[in-house]
C-alpha cells in the first residue's frame, strides 16, 4: 500500500493550540504497512514527526520535514478468563476507546475519560488523570522502528513508564511509531474514587455505589467545568508537569510556604501542584499579547486569538523563571515543542 505525500499543509486543524504553521510534507497513515513504503522511500532519514491528535504539541515554527499523521482505525476485544485484552489501532480517538469499554462494562479506563488525543500517543507520556495512569492497564504495543525498518513489540516492563514519561518520550524519543496498543482490563470492577474532586461530585449527586459509567460521567463533568475546550480556546492541557522533589527539599519549602500543596509519591518523593506554584506567582488569568494563562487552572496556557507558537513558548519561559525565583523549583514543560 503506497503513501500520498501532500505539500504545504496548514497544521492549524491538526493541533489543539490552533497554531497556524505550515508543514512542507504531510502523510496520512491509515494502514501500518504504509510505514514500510515510507521507510523504503527514505523518509525516515529526513526530519519527521509522528502526529496523533496534536493535543500535546506546540508548533513554534514551520515544519520543514515530514508530518506522519497516524489515522489507522479499529478496536478488538479478547476475553481470557477474568481478563479482557483490548487491542486498539493507534489512530483511534482515546475517548472513543473509553466509551467502548464503558459500554461493554470493561473496567479500568473510566478515570481517564475525556483526555483528548489518540490511542497511539497514550503510552508516550503515560497519560494519567484523576488517580489513574495508563501504565496500570497497558499490556503491550506494536511500534515501527524508523531506524531498522521493522515492527517491534513492547511489553509494559519494556516501556520504562514513570510519571508522565516513558521510553518513547526519553531514550527512544521520536524513533518508534506506535501502530496499536493492547490494554489489559478486567470485568470485575474496582472503582477508584481516591481523587478528591470525584468523591465530592459523587456525594453531590448522592451516588454511594458508583458504576464505571458514573465515574466516567463525573470525571467528564469536572473536566468540562474546569478546562478550556480546545475547539473554542486553543490549549494543550497542562503545559507543565507537576514537579516531583525530595522530602528534604519539601520540608524546606513547607517551612517557608505553609500552604504548599503536595502529594506523597513512591520512593520518598513528593509531588507539588505546579498550578498552585504558578498561581502564587500571580500568573493565573494573566495575558501577554495573544498568549494567556487559563483563569480556572494556571497549569494550562491558552491561545487567546491567533497566537504564534513562540508567544506561548515565551510566556512559558517567564512562568518557569518566576516559579524558580520564588520557590527554587524548576518547572518542566509537559507539552512537546517543535
Which of 110, 164, 201, 316 is an active site residue?
A: 164
Q: Does 195 bind ligand NAP (CB under 6 A)?
A: yes
Is 175 designated active site? no
Q: H or E stretch including 250?
A: helix 247-256
Least distance (Å) between residue 208 CB and ligand FAD: 26
Q: Does 118 bind ligand FAD (CB under 6 A)?
A: yes
Which one, of 100, 180, 91, lies nearest residue 144 by Cα? 180
Which of 55, 140, 238, 316 is an active site residue?
A: 238
DSSP string, 310-338: HHHHHHHHHHHHHHHHHHS----B-SEE-
> Where on the phi/psi map is residue 285: left (φ > 0), alpha (ψ -120 to 50), or beta?
left
Q: Does 155 bind ligand NAP (CB under 6 A)?
A: no
**Residue ranges in 125-154 that form contacts with ligand FAD under rule CB under 6 A:** 125, 127-129
Q: Does 16 bind ligand FAD (CB under 6 A)?
A: yes
Which one, of 221, 216, 243, lies nearest residue 299 by Cα? 243
Give SS3 for 10: strand
Q: What distance lies between CA 195 and its chain's CA centroid?
A: 19
Residue 292 interacts with, from ligand NAP, ligand FAD, none (CB under 5-8 Å by kind): none
DSSP string, 48-90: EEEESSSTTEE--S-EEEEEEEE----EEEEEETTEEEEEEET
Least distance (Å) between residue 56 CB and ligand FAD: 4
Scanning 110-118, 151-159, 255-263, 286-294 for contacts with ligand FAD by CB under 6 A, the matching segment is 110-118
x/- map, 222-261, ligand NAP, by CB under 6 A: ----xx---------xx---x-------------------
Q: Does 191 bind ligand NAP (CB under 6 A)?
A: no
Q: What distance lies between CA 132 and its chain's CA centroid?
A: 13
Query: Burial of 231 by CB count in 10 Å (0-12 exposed, 13-18 middle, 19+ buried)?
Result: exposed
Residues with a catalytic annotation lie at 164, 238, 334
- Could you list the residues that contact ligand FAD (CB under 6 A)? 16, 49-57, 70, 90, 115-118, 120-122, 124-125, 127-129, 168, 176-178, 227, 230, 235-237, 336
- Could you list the residues that contact ligand NAP (CB under 6 A)? 128-131, 194-197, 226-227, 237-238, 242, 263, 273, 275, 297, 299, 334
Amino acid at each position: 500500500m503506497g503513501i500520498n505525500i501532500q505539500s504545504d499543509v496548514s497544521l492549524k486543524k491538526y493541533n489543539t493550540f490552533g497554531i497556524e504553521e505550515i508543514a512542507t510534507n504531510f502523510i496520512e497513515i491509515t494502514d501500518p504497512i504504509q510505514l514500510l513504503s515510507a521507510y523504503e522511500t527514505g523518509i525516515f532519514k529526513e526530519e519527521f514527526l509522528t502526529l496523533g491528535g496534536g493535543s500535546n504539541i506546540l508548533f513554534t515554527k514551520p515544519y520543514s520535514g515530514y508530518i506522519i499523521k497516524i489515522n489507522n482505525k479499529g478496536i478488538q476485544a479478547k476475553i481470557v478468563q477474568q481478563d479482557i485484552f483490548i487491542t486498539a489501532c493507534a489512530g483511534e480517538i482515546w475517548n472513543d476507546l473509553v466509551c467502548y469499554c464503558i459500554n461493554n462494562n470493561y473496567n479500568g479506563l473510566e478515570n481517564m475519560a475525556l483526555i483528548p488525543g489518540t490511542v497511539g500517543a497514550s503510552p508516550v507520556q503515560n497519560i494519567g488523570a484523576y488517580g489513574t495512569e495508563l501504565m496500570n492497564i497497558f499490556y503491550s504495543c506494536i511500534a515501527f522502528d524508523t531506524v531498522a525498518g521493522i515492527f517491534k513489540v513492547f511489553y509494559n516492563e519494556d516501556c520504562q513508564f514513570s510519571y508522565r514519561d516513558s521510553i518513547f518520550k526519553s531514550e527512544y524519543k521520536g524513533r518508534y511509531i506506535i501502530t496499536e496498543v493492547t490494554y489489559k482490563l478486567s470485568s470485575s470492577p474496582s472503582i477508584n474514587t481516591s481523587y478528591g474532586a470525584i468523591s465530592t461530585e459523587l456525594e453531590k449527586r448522592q451516588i454511594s455505589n458508583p458504576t464505571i459509567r458514573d465515574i466516567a460521567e463525573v470525571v467528564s463533568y469536572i473536566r468540562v467545568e474546569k478546562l478550556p475546550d480546545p475547539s473554542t480556546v486553543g490549549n494543550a492541557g497542562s503545559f507543565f508537569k507537576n514537579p516531583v522533589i525530595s522530602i528534604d527539599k519539601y520540608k524546606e519549602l513547607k517551612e517557608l510556604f505553609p500552604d504548599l500543596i503536595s502529594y506523597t509519591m513512591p520512593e520518598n518523593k513528593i509531588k507539588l501542584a505546579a498550578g498552585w506554584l504558578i498561581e502564587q506567582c500571580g500568573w493565573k488569568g494573566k495575558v501577554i499579547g495573544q498568549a494567556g494563562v487559563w483563569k480556572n487552572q494556571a497549569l494550562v496556557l491558552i491561545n487567546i486569538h491567533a497566537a504564534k507558537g513562540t508567544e506561548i513558548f515565551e510566556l512559558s519561559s517567564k512562568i518557569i523563571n518566576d516559579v524558580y525565583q520564588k520557590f527554587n523549583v524548576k518547572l518542566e514543560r509537559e507539552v512537546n515543542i517543535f
